[in-house]
Amino acid sequence: MDRKPDFKRLEGTSRDFALEVLYYCREKGMFAHKALTVASAGKSETKGSRKAATEMSFGSIRRLISLDRAISQASGRDIGTVDPVLADILRIAVYQLLFMRGEAPYAVVDSAVEQAKRLMGKGASGFANAILRKVSAPGFTPSVPDRGSDPAAWLSVTESHPLWIVKDWIGRFGMDAAEGMCRYDNETPPAFVRVNSMKTTRDELIERLAENGTRPVPGGISPFAVRLPSWDAVASGEAFEEGLYSVQDQSSMLVAEMLAPEPGEFVIDMCAAPGGKTCHAAELARDGAKVLACDSNANRLELVGQNARRLSLKSVETMTADASKLYESFAGKADAVMADVPCSGLGVLSRRPDARWRKDYSQADEFAKIGSAILDSAAMCLRPGGRLVFSTCTVSERENELQLKDFLARHKEFAPVPLARLEALGISGKGSGYAQLLQGIHESDGFFISLFHKLN
C-alpha cells in the first residue's frame, strides 16, 4: 500500500521537505538525488532549508540500520510494525538527535511531535513523543553488538552498512581500513576540482579561488587536484565559467594522467559521460590530440560537449555507441584508450546515500561480465604499441583484480605498466601495474586503476 504524508498539510519546513524525500525513495523507488529533485519542484525554499533537508534525508537513509535499531530499542517494537510515514518521521528526528549538531534536543522532539500530530493525528504524536523523549534522554545509548566477539556485526550496526559489505572489507583490507571506509561513506565527500592546465597552473588557481574567501589546498594524490573546504558554489562563479577548472574527484584524475596522451594521437574514452576524463585527456595533449568520447546514453553525452566548450577545447568529439562494439568501427586505430567501465560503485557510497541498500553480492559478477566485454573491445581498438587504462569506482575484487587477471590471461599481447608515481605514494604495489585506492584511507573515493601496454 502506498503510504504517504498528507501533502496538503506539509508546511514547507526542512523537516517536511526531508519527509517527502524519504517518501519518494520508500514508495516510488527513486534514487535519493532524484527524490530530492522531485521534492524540490515548485518550492520556494531557502538555500538553508534545502541544505538542512538534504542532510536530514540523506543522513537518515545512510544511517538506516543505526536509526531503526535505536527506534526499536526505545519503543520495544520492531520498526516494521510502525506506520511507514511515522517511521520516517522518527528516523529523521533520531538522526538529528544522534548524528547532527545545531538544534537543541527539546526543539527536535517538539517539532517532530508537531509534525506527527499535523500529518497523522494525536495517537501518532503521542507515540512519537514517548520514543523521542527516551532517545533524547542523557542516559540513552543505542545497543550494539560486541566488537570483540563479532566485529563485523558491530561495524554493520555502528556505521550502518550491509553485513555482507562489511565482512568482505574486513576480510580483504582489515578491521581498521574497513572501519575507515565505512565512516567515510557516512560523510559528505570532500570537494575536489581539477585545474585546466591549458589555461592556468594549480598555484594560480588556488590563489584565484582564495580571493572569494575560501581556503583551497593542493590535493595529495593528483598534481592537478585542488581541495575546497565545501561544495558551496563549486560549479559556478567566474573561474568555473572561464574554464579554469572542472569538478572531479582526484582519484579519477589519475586516469588521463596515467594514460599520458600526446598531441597527434587518437584517444578513445569508451564510457565517457559526463566527460571529466575526456576533457582532462584533451588538456594534457594540449588540445592537439583527437579525443573521441563515446557513451551509450545520448543525453548524458551532451554533457561532454558542454564541458569541452566551457574549457575551450576543440579536439573533443562525441559518438553515441555501445562500448563493447566499438572495435567494429575502430579496430587497430587508437593510440590510447580509457575504459572506465560500469561497476557496482562500492567506492562512491558517500556520494549516493541509498546505494548501499540497493547492492548485493551477485552484482559484482554481472558488472564483471559487462566490463570484460568492454575491455575486449578496447583491446581490439588499440594499435600495437598502444596504451589502455582500465578503471572503476569500486573496491570489488571480482570487478578489479580478478578482472585484470582474466584480461591478461585472454590477451597475451598486453603487459601491465608499473605506476611509478603511485608506487612512490605507497598506493600501488611495485611493478603491479594497478592501484586500489580506498575511501577513507586515501584522500579520494574508492577507485581502481590499471595501465597496460599493447605489445608490438
More confident call, 181 vs 432 = 181
pLDDT at 46: 54
CA dist 288 and 437 (Å) reads 31
State the CATH architecture for 191-247.
2-Layer Sandwich (3.30)
Give domain limits for the chain. Answer: 7-136, 151-185, 191-247, 250-454
Model confidence at 1, pLDDT cuts 50, 70, 90, reads: very low
CATH code matching the domain that covers 7-136, chosen among 1.10.940.10, 1.50.10.10, 3.40.50.800, 2.40.40.20: 1.10.940.10
Model confidence at 235, pLDDT cuts 50, 70, 90, reads: confident
The long-range contacts involving 225-229, CB below 8 angstroms and separated by at least 24 positions, are 225/192, 225/193, 225/194, 225/195, 225/250, 225/253, 226/192, 226/193, 226/194, 226/195, 226/202, 227/190, 227/191, 227/192, 227/443, 228/190, 228/191, 228/192, 228/193, 229/191
Q: Residue 4 pLDDT > 70, yes or no?
A: no
Segment 197-219, tens digit of pLDDT? 999 999 999 999 999 888 999 99
CATH code matching the domain that covers 250-454, chosen among 3.40.50.150, 3.40.1360.10, 3.60.20.10, 3.30.2130.10: 3.40.50.150
Question: Strands across the sheet with 245-247, in order?
Answer: 217-218, 225-228, 191-195, 245-247
pLDDT at 2: 53
Task: State mean pLDDT over 182-188.
Answer: 96
More confident call, 399 vs 232 = 399
Task: State mean pLDDT over 103-121.
Answer: 94
pLDDT at 50: 83
From 4-8, 118-122, 265-269, the region with the lowest mean pLDDT: 4-8
Query: Phi, psi (5° rounding) for residue 423?
Result: -60, -40
